[in-house]
Structure 1
Amino acid sequence: MNPLQLNTDVLVIGSGAAGMMAAKAAANEGAKVVLVDKSLVGRGGATILAQMTVAVALGDAEEDNPDIHFEDTMKGSRGMADPDIVRAIVDRGPELILEVEGYGVKWARTPDGKHSQVVAPGHSRKRCVYVDILNTGGATSAGLRKAIWKDDSIERLKNIMITKLVVENGAVVGAVGFAMEQFQPVIIAANAVILATGGLTEIYERNSASANMTGDGFILAAEAGAELRDMEMVQFFPIAHLYPPLVGIDPIMWDPFRYKLGGRLLNGNHEEFMDKYNNEVAGNYTAARDQTTYAIFKEVEAGRGTPHGGAYLDFRMVPEAKLKEAFGPVIDILNKQGVDLTKDMVEVAPMAHFTMGGIRVNTSMETTVPGLFACGELIYGMHGANRLSGNAITETLVTGRIAAEVASKVGRKPASDRLQAELEQELKRLERLWYPREVDKDEVSMLSVKRELQKLMWEGAGPLRTEASLSRALDRLRELGERVEGVALAKQSYYALTLVEKIELIHMLKLSESIIIGALARRESRGAHVRLDYNQSYETAVSTKFQLDASRQWTMQEIPLPELKQPSKGDQ
């Protein structure tokens, strides 16, 4: 089959909120843009599922400015955020909130017309904007989707699996892959490539990710020669829904209601316990996510967990009228499934939620490989060892825009024969991967192996880690990798979904290995990385640097970080 061949100024890979913002911003700069996604354009990623808030120092609710937001974020990172990246993001957060408002995102307003802003754990000010009734991420994605659909300079391609970035003379010149429907080869030449494929939390058994967030962008970048940092730093959302089973409810929806209404966290003995771990006062919840996750697991470890291994979330003391006002239509969804919050408690427990490590970029979102940019959850630098609630979508919008502004100015590259040669090699590799031998049916279900991996990572490299658990997980991980590589799948004439599943699984296995290698090397507890056998933090914070060598094996180096005494912008 003849390949699909495209030539563009900017290629954006991934169409969640970061990718859509990058595509729109590049088009606004006058660039010709191709936006590709392995699923439906604008319908995947993490933002579309996000229900809570966006942290920006607008100052509508109380006196606030980016300097204070910067200081809160640096403090929350447990000494590991990159101050230059944090500064770049918080400075432009207010601007981007107003931009997407122009795309139709209706941020909640107070009666006097100001943006409604609330406080979230780790923030010292009421700076988090939101869209009413758990629709912040969905509304943001919808606004961006409408914006890119109206722009004729953005070519949108769905069901395209990009499998390799093409590098010539040390710079990225495009990408190759295939269209899933008929395994049609794809070649895209580009002056610049922006990766926006999201995080990797799908590798865990309990996770809040879209199913397509399998870490593809990290692998594409690393194979092109880019540097990754702190891959072991994965955030676990502390109070994700555990029991009873619910349909039509995002598992992480409880958080804003807990802070808004004073929902109590109780252990299996019906006792509040956060005061023992973070000196919280009942009804005034200030613990950051890493602290709450740790506290819940310590209660479970001590035999004080709930029947299903978590904690109770209790709203029974809140008046019914106030519950209905706060929960809106959600209260009816809960009631129809037998949950009456005036009488019933629910069980909650931590869940893998966000990738805090990632691709190393500078303040222009340039990776260490010329011509290659990254944005959104893919990047390293904003969060360190702990992400503050509300900072994710801020990062998504700002970094998508910055990447596009710079990428759109990359000079035109001469036509390259390298793309065609790389495509031919890549197709041979993919065919060997798909069916190393002819079989009538798949030798092994990739989805069953994926579930095995997810369980392995949750038990061995989840919220609480030890040398023994990590070492066992690494051994089992490598055994799984050897099994998967040699599996033959039945060739399909239409929709190469099993090949996609195998590629994704190989990416997940490789990234799981980086998480474990980093977690073994990091003999400390810091933020979301908890080593039960090393409960102290290093005096000097370190960052773990990952690169793939010529044999596709990880090299890892610990790099001491400078003390974070960055002066605020106003003092410089």
Structure 2
Amino acid sequence: MAAALSAAEMGAEVILADRSLIGRSGATIMAQMTVAVALGSETPDHWEHHLADTLTAGRGLCDANLAALVCEQGPAAIQQLDEWRVGWARKADGGIRQTQAPGHDRPRCVYVDFLATGPAVAKTLRGRVLRQKLVTRIGDLYLTDLALVDGAVAGAIGFSVADGQPVSIAAKTVILATGGLTRLYRRNSASANMGGDGHALALRAGAELMDMEFVQFFPIGHLAPRLVGMDPIMWDPFRYKLGGRLLNSEMREFMNDYGNEEGGRYVVTRDKATHAILKEVEAGRGSPAGGAFLSFQHIPGDKLREAFGPVIDRLAANGIDLSKMPVEVAPIAHYHMGGVKTDTTMETRVPNLYAAGELVAGANGANRLSGNAITEALVFGRIAGEAAAMRANTIAHHSWKNALATEQLEIASASTPRPDLNLAGVIAELQAVMADFVGPFRTREGLEHALASLADMKSAIGTIAPETKGPYNLERIDWFDLRSMLLVAETITRAALLRTESRGAHQRNDFPGLDDNWALHQTVALHQNELVFGRAPVVGSRVSEVA
């Protein structure tokens, strides 16, 4: 939505296409927590301080130019949302309230009270899109491939979810803003449409992906007791706001046992917290459901009510009384640091093809700093929209040629009877393999097992989608999802096998510790339907001394 608004403001006619509901799918609508930005409303701040924390969290692999864009342009994006009345939480003096999140050196994260940040941002942008006459919204449109003319993107191919009919769109420029790929994992915080669609579209069009091995696991995703109708990653802001205690089965705080200095406050970055929790489970000191306990029992009841507001009542409806019991939490697939390789205008190596948001690789290195995701989506969306609109203005005529899209149209419309294969079951199998062998801790043996399993699944589903039988055919959607998910899962697994070190969100039990020889990016592209890996240097730091 940020990209569509930005392009329209440049005078471009925009189609905003989504396989689901416009502005109600993806990751932002799920994000209930905070947005990192150097406003300085709580304490003096500067975007370069934010950048320094981002680079530190990235474990030496951040593209400093991309990270600097997020940090430098973030304040303007947040102020614009404030002008659009998104509803940032306020202090008594009317200033925007900011709180300190893990990895930040000061209070820097804005939010909309009581787990409403993501929905409020999505609703605000959705309202702006609805009023923008240059943006045409098309939901329930599943895009299967991008169309190329002379090596440049000229549009997209897909089918209508409503009736299964093939659809082709001519476009002078295309922006991929499909979010991440955490649906590849059994336990995840993603919407159901975040299975790596954009990564697969980019690969098949000739773009490069980068840093695919770095999947971030949110350390304290809800595990037990059962929680209905609430975000599994809801505990994060309350832990660092109130000092919630992470306890093992001995009811002892353990985070400091792994070289982390919490000192009663939640300041440990996500990769380190994930490591500590899983090591406790591995040592036999985990909670009954296989995680850790998170306790707020030391917090007075009035303070809990003040912090949680109406969330307390929603928890009570789930049988959870935080004053009397801990909850169980465990790492959950949450974000992907890798993605499509772009320049600072968000253009890929394929002319006229751009990317935005979580789909863009580089800004977060090997581990994303808490709160940077929505900032990144807003900033990269605006940059991509402006750049794509400017490029479109230089193109006199559409270069679309139907003949060149024949193969893609055939893939989108072809079908074959397939009564013997449970495709939903294959997706569940894929998610289990990725969770068990390509999760937070990896080994050569496990990664090789995963590759063999992925190859078997790819062979099983074949190269043609199952027969179309009426509208909203879930079996057909599952097949196209698997087509992308299996390709993207292979890029993650092969990249993880090649990187023989442990860095940030990529941890190898057989190669513990950082290796300076691996202070570089891994790239991957498709060549004659085979994945080809390469290496790229890390762009240097942009941090200077700020008083």
Q: What band does the TM-score fall into relative to the shorter chain?
A: over 0.9
Q: Distance in 1 between matches of 2:465 and 2:58?
A: 44
| Alignment-derived partner of residue 412 in structure 1 | 395
Q: Which of 42, 59, 70 does residue 78 from structure 1 map onto?
A: 59
- List gaps (5 residues or longer) in structure 1: 1-19
Letter in 2 for 1:455: A
SS in 2 for 1:341: coil
Q: Conserved in 2, the CA contact under 8 Å of 1:177 and 1:423?
A: no
Residue number in structure 1 paired with 2:520? 542
- Summarize deviations over 1:122-167 as a string: whole Å, max 9, x none: 1112111000101100000000000000111110001111111111
> Distance in 2 between the 1:56 and 1:251 partners?
24
Match for residue 456 of structure 1? 433
Once the 2 structures are TM-superposed, how far is the Cα of residue 25 of structure 1 from its aligned partner?
A: 1.0
C-alpha offsets along residues 23-75 of structure 1, whole Å, 9 cap, x if unaligned? 11111111111110111111101011101111111111111011111111111
Question: Conserved in 2, the CA contact under 8 Å of 1:278 and 1:291?
Answer: no
2:88 to 103, 107, 116: 107
Aligned-partner Cα distance in 2 for 1:560–1:92 = 25
Contact 2:190 2:334 in 1 (8 A): yes
Alpha-carbon spacing, 1:323–1:191, altered in 2? closer, same or farther (3 Å):
same
Q: Bigger shift: 122-131 or 136-145?
A: 122-131
Secondary structure in 1 matching 2:233: coil
1:259 Cα deviation from its structure 2 partner = 0.7
- Could you tell me which of 157, 161, 164 is aligned with 2:145? 164
Q: Which residue of the partner structure matches residue 21 of structure 1? A: 2
Give the TM-score, by structure 2 length: 0.97
| Aligned partner letter, 1:549 | H
- 1:268-417 matches, within 5 Å, as 268-410=249-391, 411-417=394-400
**Which structure is richer in relative contact order (CA contacts within 8 A, separation 6 or more)?**
2
| Residue matched to 1:421 | 403
TM-score normalized with structure 1 length = 0.93
The answer on whether the counterparts of 2:187 and 2:332 sit within 8 Å (CA) in structure 1 is yes
Aligned-partner residue type, residue 160 of structure 1: L
How many angstroms apart in 1 are the aligned matches of 2:465 and 2:201?
A: 23
Give the counterpart of 2:506 among 529, 541, 547. 529
Aligned ranges 1:485-504 → 2 under 5 Å: 485=462, 489-504=466-481
Which amino acid letter does the alignment assign opposite residue 532 of structure 1?
N
- C-alpha distance in structure 2 between counterparts of 1:568 and 1:192, whole Å: 36
RMSD: 1.5
Alignment match, 2:215: 234
Of the candidates 444, 451, 457, which is equivalent to residue 467 of structure 1?
444
Where 2:173 maps in the other structure, the secondary structure is: strand
Sort the Cα spacing of 1:259 and 1:170 in 2 relative to 1 into closer, same or farther, 3 A.
same
Which segment drifts farther, 330-339 or 351-360? 330-339
Structure 1 contact 228–545 (Cα < 8 Å) conserved: yes
Contact 2:340/2:360 (8 A) holds in 1: yes
Q: Once the two structures are aligned, what percentage of the paired residues are identical?
A: 48
1:309-365 alpha-carbon deviations (Å, 9 max, x no partner): 100001111001101111111111111222111111110000000010010111111
Matching residue of 2:24: 43
8 Å CA contact 1:29, 1:405 repeated in 2:
yes
- 8 Å contact from structure 1 (residues 240, 350) kept in 2: yes
Q: Once the 2 structures are TM-superposed, how far is the Cα of residue 557 of structure 1 from its aligned partner? A: 1.7
Q: What is the CA–CA distance in structure 1 between the aligned matches of 2:404 and 2:470, rounded to whole Å?
A: 23
Structure 2 counterpart SS, 1:139? helix
Question: Does the 8 Å CA contact 1:444/1:487 hold for their aligned counterparts?
Answer: no
Deviation, 1:86, is: 0.7
1:13 aligned residue: none
The count of aligned residue pairs is 544
Is this contact kept in 1: 2:158–2:412, CA < 8 A?
Answer: no
Task: Name the SS of the counterpart of 1:237 in structure 2.
Answer: strand
SS of 2:250's partner is coil
Name the SS for the 2:232 alignment partner: coil
Query: Cα 1:46–1:415, aligned 2, differ >3 Å: closer, same or farther?
Result: closer
Q: Contact 2:57 / 2:368 at 8 angstroms: preserved in 1? A: yes
2:200 to 202, 207, 219: 219
Q: CA deviation at 1:503?
A: 0.7
Q: Could you tell me which runs of 5 or more consecutive residues in structure 2 were left unpaired when the two chains were aligned.
A: none
Contact residue 524 and residue 531 of structure 2 kept, 8 A: yes
Structure 2 counterpart of 1:12: none
Q: Which amino acid aligns with 2:224?
A: Y
Q: Distance in 2 between matches of 1:390 and 1:561?
A: 23
DSSP 3-state at the match of 1:389: coil
Rounded Cα–Cα distance in structure 2 between residues aligned with 1:565 and 1:281: 27
Equivalent position SS for 1:191: coil
